[in-house]
Structure 1
Amino acid sequence: MSKKVTLADVAAKAGVAVSTASKALRNSAQVSGPTRAKVFKAAAELSFSLNERQKQSQPPSLPKSVGLVTSDLDGQFSMPILIGAESYFGVESIPVFLCNAGRDPALEQHHIDNLLAYGVKGLLMVGWRTDPRPALTSCPVPVVYANQASLDPHDCSVVTDNEDIGRLMVRHLVEGGSRKIVLIAGDPAFRSSVRRLKGEMAELDSRGLAAVRTVRYGSWNEETGRRTMVGLLDEGIDFDGVACGNDEIARGCLDILHDRQVSVPDRVSVVGVDNRQVIVGNSRPPLTSVDLNLKAIGTRAASCLADMMDGRGHQGVECVKGTLVQRASTRMPL
């Protein structure tokens, strides 16, 4: 009985690493043309096909399995999404294999190659930021993108509705009586910051209002909130509401308002985004914030992927709305 040819045999014959042979047989752009040709030549001489390798590698006990590839395993955004996805797959008895690419495109591709070689039936790609990412090309299994949309409009992506979050923040402030609202956005290099600001401006405009002075941009940290709030108070700016790009900026604002003995929310209401318990509960006073519903994004993305593995298609970008959680930093709606 003849021995089955493996990918390692092909790599050895071509004189390349196993990972390089795998990428070459999948037409990865990371492999040069000459190297790819050498690997294909070796595979042909050995009568080897990648599909055959997948059949050999796929355990018969796992008719369905998925690969979850995240770019930020330790991130505050990735983990809730992964938890939501895993909970859905667990109920459906679909095994999940988790890989952390650490924001490294080459490592991401390496994980994808290995997952496909093992025989997963679908891939869930979880991004660490909301800016669109390049699509996976020539992937033989369904792919869903969570928290970071694919640049290909035909792909299935599930993301946060950041524009609606901006509207929700301003709507809550206005309904609580604020009319002179300051907008403190996060880093403008992030799509989420730009989208939230667009929603805030649209909501103000729909109510016949405008932001007080110019919009203030900054990093996603408490120092941005503190520095901006000191400037507003020192300049004598008249305002009664602050919409912040995230919870850290908002807590920085609250710290200065507390130090300057400005009553919150009686004189100024402050709202943030992310609903991070370690921040909102330790703010002075506890911070009203918009929860991004990241677990729901994970659950929905997993549901779409399961449908696609069963032959039911999903295309385009699906947005999940946030939920405002009111605490003591804002006034109740009038």
Structure 2
Amino acid sequence: MKPDRELTLSEAIREAYVEEMRRDERVFLIGTSIQAPTFPHTKGLADEFGEGRVLDTPISEPGMTGCAMGAALEGLRPVVDYMYAGFAYCAGSEVFLQAGQYHFLHGSQHPLPMVMVGTCGVGRRVANEHATLPYGALIHHPGLKVCMPSTPYDAKGLMKAAIRDDNPVFFLWHTSMMMQKGPVPNEDYIVPLGVADIKRSGSDLTILASGLQVGNALKVADKLAREVSIEVIDPRSFEPFDRDTLMRSLEKTHRLVIVDEDFERGGFAAEVMAQVMEHGYDLLDAPVKRVCHPHFPVPGGYIDSYTMPTPERIEAAAREALGA
């Protein structure tokens, strides 16, 4: 596949919608402000596919999620758009306790093919529900698959994989990356859920980062390139998590920094640290370092620039891991 064009991340998601809705008439969208969209990833879809397949709903996350679950059980393939991923907490019972666990609790008789979508991420000064990244809470509940792209290529491929999956998938995308451009092939492709991507090869230190933070990790790797060789891995999926790729990296580098924009306490970074300690302790030459949002509510205004992971904080953690 030879990319001969560039799309923004939101355009890549939209193209995935268009292709999957044309391919499979069971796919439909339901959510808040998607017919006359707040964000460009659903622009014009109601004109092509009609209001019967692009459904605007009242601002009721439990209602739209429950509707999608019922549709999935009847054989449709709904995509629920919360606008902001933090709003999914309003549908906590449906998202955390019902969707992911339905297949198991009902004797593996009913697949539940539904995708839940929302933007998230610190740095836009939108605070709290609009910025919070919920993947730490999502992966805590069994049965949910969770992913987040760091490039338009990954955005399109992950979305297509999510729509085709027979399990509930939560697709997160970073608000600050909405207009970021990158190469996307014209050919049909998917990015499999649960397969990490090595964004930069290295031999002295591994940085595991996702979403917006992949770019920050790459900046640090570029800055320190004359001093040290840094490998940057994007998990792409938080659940299932590709531990094997991370372990193979640690066999080379023996040092790890995890960049996690979610809250530090009990988050994804803490889970990865635990898995590394259980399955790769002998590979480490230094304690694992993590760069996270502190255990502190996402602030509004300029203060979020002091709480979010930044290249400066990542560099400091890298130097500390290397110095050890």
TM-score by length of 2: 0.31
Pick the structure with greater CA Rg.
1
Q: TM-score, normalised by structure 1?
A: 0.30
Q: Which structure is higher in strand share? A: 2
